[in-house]
Amino acid sequence: MTLIASVSGIRGTIGGQPGSNLTPHDVVSFVNAYAALLLEQGHGRTVVVGRDARISGDMVSRLVCGTLMACGLDVIDLGLTTTPTLEMQVPRVGAAGGIVLTASHNPEEWNALKLLDHHGCFIGSEQGAALLQKVQKGEPIPYATVHNLGQYHQDDSALEAHIQDILALPLVNRQAIAAAGLHVVVDGINSSGAVAVPAL
């Protein structure tokens, strides 16, 4: 079992002992530190969250969303979505950051927190190092009082907005593509690609 915490994100296997795997304790600790980082940067109090279709995805997403709300941050939950869709949605809604829950090519027992800044880009090495330092010091930010908890919103419009952005690109000729009569086989591996690619 493994937990890999680096400036590029938090990746690990589900279950086992805290500190050695991606357990609920570890998810909460890293999300709390990320919330502190966002509040320090002052780009707002909203975070966009989305995930792939991993077995642990729903569970980890609920932990992430609940922790952000407990830190006083509002959550926009895209649910099952692609990484680029979430990256584009962060600046579209003026969010302070975003969290993509996906372990990419790793096997099913893995999951990860990929952290974005207010531009929708993965946080840089300086921000990543600051986050890791917060976790290592073991000094979580105080959680919000009951009247200052964050709000939760679901948003199922992000994928369609992403698709419209693609179709609006000057190099995309919708009429020529449609007229070509192409047949395309897609292996969406039972994840977000199975939703996004057929829609596109």
CATH for 26: 3.40.120.10
Give this prediction's pTM.
0.94
Is 124 inside a domain boundary? yes
Is 169 inside a domain boundary? no
Give pLDDT < 70 ranges for the chain. Answer: 1, 7-8
Q: Label residues 166-175 b or e (16+ Cβ within 10 Å = b).
A: eeeeeeeeee
Q: Bridge partners of 76? A: 48, 153
Question: Per residue in 116-132, pLDDT tens?
Answer: 999 999 999 999 999 99
Question: Per residue in 82-94, pLDDT tens?
Answer: 999 999 999 999 9
Q: Could you give the CA distance from residue 164 to residue 33 in angstroms, rounded to a whole number?
A: 35
The answer to whether 104 is a known catalytic residue is yes
Is 108 inside a domain boundary? yes
Is 165 inside a domain boundary? no
Q: Find the domain containing 28 and state its range.
A: 3-156
Contact 51, 60 (CB under 8 A): yes
Is 192 inside a domain boundary? no
∠ Cα 6 8 14 (to 5°)? 65
Q: Could you give the CA distance from residue 123 to residue 116 in angstroms, rounded to a whole number?
A: 5
Is 35 inside a domain boundary? yes
Structural domains counted in the chain:
1
Contact 63, 70 (CB under 8 A): no
Is 23 inside a domain boundary? yes
Among 104, 125, 191, 192, the one annotated catalytic: 104
